Structure formats: C-alpha cells, structure tokens
Structure 1
Amino acid sequence: MNGANEQGGGPGRHETPEERADRLWTEMLQEVRVCQTGAQILFGFLLSVAFTPRFAGLGGFDKGLYVVTMVLGACATGALIAPVAFHRFFTGHDLKPELIKVGARLITMGLCLLGLTIGTALLLLLRVATGNDALAWAIAGAVLAWFLVGWLLLPYSVLRNAERRQRRARG
C-alpha cells in the first residue's frame, strides 16, 4: 500500500484524510443540488394541485394517492436537505467523516423517496389524464422499475464488479 492510501486518498491521490473529507463533501453537495432542485420543484407543483377546480372532482382513491404523493415528496425534500442541517450542527466539531457517512445515507434515502414520489405522481396524472387504470399502473410501474435499475441495481452491479476486480488484482 502506498503512502497516499494510508493517508486516506484513493489510488493516484495524494490527500490527507481532511482533504479527502473536504473533497467528498464538495462532491456530495454537487450531487444533492441536482436532485434537491428537482424534488423541490415537483413538490411545489404538487402543492398547488389541491387548489385547482379539478381536484374537487377526484375520487377517493386519487385523493388518497395525492396525499401519499405529497407525503413522499415532503420526506424526499427533507432527506435531501438534511445533510445541510447536519453540516450546520457538525461544523467546528471535526466530524466531517461522520457527516459524509450520514449525508450519503440521507441522499440515498432521498433519492429512493424521490423515485417513489415521481412514480406516484405519474400514476395519479395518468389515471386522471387517460382514465385507463391498467395503462396508468403499467406505465408508472415501468418508470419505477427503470428507476430501480438505473438508480440502484446498475450502480450496485458496477460497484460489485469493481470490488471483484480489485480483489483479483490484490490476490
């Protein structure tokens, strides 16, 4: 193992543990900015739906689906904003590595909740727009399956393959 790895940097990096933590935190902030903005715009749009004339005409299932969508959107927004609150509390306490671990989990949770929010919002929209329940469920299910593959399974698979290659290279 070379000195950079012992100090906390990855292969080809020469950084101290503090520099690594700063870099990872900056990367996390960039990542969360993208999904946080989308979640906030979607949540803001969904807030206005209940105040439209057509909302009163929705059936009980669709109103319930709207409530579930709103709760999921609020939770997604909260999870994506939470790392900033943690940062405020942790600042000055030399806890950046802990912040990165907690922040990564919160962002992952926020992404899962955002995917569910988009899926339920799509289901509601398609039920109302098409009047075809089977089509609405099929399309919303396909979109959620795509999120599952693109956001979770594919990254997990790439990570597992990289870990296998690294083990073979070491042993």
Structure 2
Amino acid sequence: MSPLGPRDTSEGRHESPEERADRRWNELLQEVRVLQTGVQILFAFLLTVVFMPRFATLSQTDQTIYVVTVLLGAATTGALIGTVTFHRLVAGHRLKPETVFWAARLALVGVVLLLATVTSALLLILRIAMDDEAVPWIVAGLVAWFMLCWFALPAWVLHHYSTKD
C-alpha cells in the first residue's frame, strides 16, 4: 500500500510509446543536469589540486589516490555527458525508447562512478586533514550512507510499493 493511501491501478497515464519515451527522456535530462553540476564542480576542484604547492609534499600513496580520483572524475563526466551525446547521435532515427533505455543505463553508470569519485576524494582529503586511523572507517560510513540514500532506499520503495503484476 502507498503511504498516501491505496493505489488505484486501473488509472494511469494514457500515453503512446513515443509520448512515454519523450516524458522519460525529459525526466532523465533533469536528473543528469543535477548530477552534472555537482560532478563539474568536484572535477574542476580536483583538476586544480595538482597545481598547489603542497601537492609535491604529498606521500606517494596520497598522490596515487589523487590520480585515481581524477581518473574516476573524468570517467564520471564521460558517462554523464554520454547520455546527451548518445541522444544527439541517434536523434531523428526513430529510436527514442532505445535511446532512453541506454542513456538511463549510462546515467546509472555515472552515479556509480560518482560514488567511487566521492569516496576516493573523501579518502584523500581526510587522510591529509586528519592523519588518523579513523579515516577509512569514516569514509566507509559515508559510503554506506550514500549507498543507503542512492540505492537501498529506492530499491526498497520499488520492492515495497510496486504493484504485484
């Protein structure tokens, strides 16, 4: 049962497959816009770190974590921008439902890569800021929180509130 009351499954959207694909595409674009803004800010910040005087004083481990973080940020950017370029390259070929399907997968890959990027960035920043044995535990706790918010809660809602077809 829905938290807003019983669901009337006889009602629903009355839209053609093309209208549904258009709606889903617009929803996906809005989601990617939110993601891309945060990724661009994070990636821009990461790109400047190597030019800071303190970078040369970092341990080899921290420099390696930095490089991995930048590569993850680049991969995240690629996946999220890939949703739009995918559409651009296949637009006009009557493949909107397929475009939405594959672009949505690219966006989900982007979210997973964003999780990895944020994890790596947190690890690097907290290692430098705290120099404490608790850093891996703090990062693990935050990763668990992200996974709960980004994946587990939506999966639970989907399972719990979906109609049994």
Given the two structures, how large is their TM-score scaled by the length of structure 1? 0.88
Counterpart-to-counterpart distance in 1, 2:11 and 2:65? 48
Equivalent residue, structure 1, for 2:111: 111
Paired AA for residue 114 in structure 2 = L
Counterpart-to-counterpart distance in 2, 1:11 and 1:57? 63
Q: Higher relative contact order at CA 8 Å, sep ≥6: structure 1 or structure 2?
A: 2
Paired AA for residue 105 in structure 2 = R
Paired AA for residue 140 in structure 1 = V
**Secondary structure, in 3 states, of the residue corresponding to 1:15?**
coil
Q: Deviations over 1:90-117 (max 9, x none)?
A: 1110001011111111111101111111
Q: Runs (4+) of structure 1 moved beyond 4 Å?
A: none
Equivalent residue, structure 1, for 2:17: 17
Q: Deviations over 1:37-88 (max 9, x none)?
A: 1001100100000000000000011000001101111011111110111111
Counterpart-to-counterpart distance in 2, 1:30 and 1:66? 30
Equivalent residue, structure 2, for 1:155: 154
Residue segments in structure 2 that go unaligned for 5+ positions in a row: 1-9
**Secondary structure, in 3 states, of the residue corresponding to 2:85?**
helix
| 1:75 maps to 2:75 | yes
Residue segments in structure 1 that go unaligned for 5+ positions in a row: 1-9
Q: CA deviation at 1:11?
A: 4.2
| 1:136 maps to 2:135 | yes
Equivalent residue, structure 1, for 2:34: 34
Q: CA deviation at 1:154?
A: 1.2
Structure number with higher helix proportion: 1
Given the two structures, how large is their TM-score scaled by the length of structure 2? 0.91
Equivalent residue, structure 1, for 2:123: 123
Identity %: 53
**Aligned in 2, Cα 1:161/1:49: closer, same or farther, shift over 3 Å?**
same
Q: CA deviation at 1:149?
A: 1.1
**Secondary structure, in 3 states, of the residue corresponding to 2:134?**
helix
Equivalent residue, structure 2, for 1:51: 51
Counterpart-to-counterpart distance in 2, 1:151 and 1:13? 26
Paired AA for residue 115 in structure 2 = G
Equivalent residue, structure 2, for 1:5: none
Equivalent residue, structure 2, for 1:96: 96
How many pairs does the alignment contain?
156
**Secondary structure, in 3 states, of the residue corresponding to 2:13?**
coil
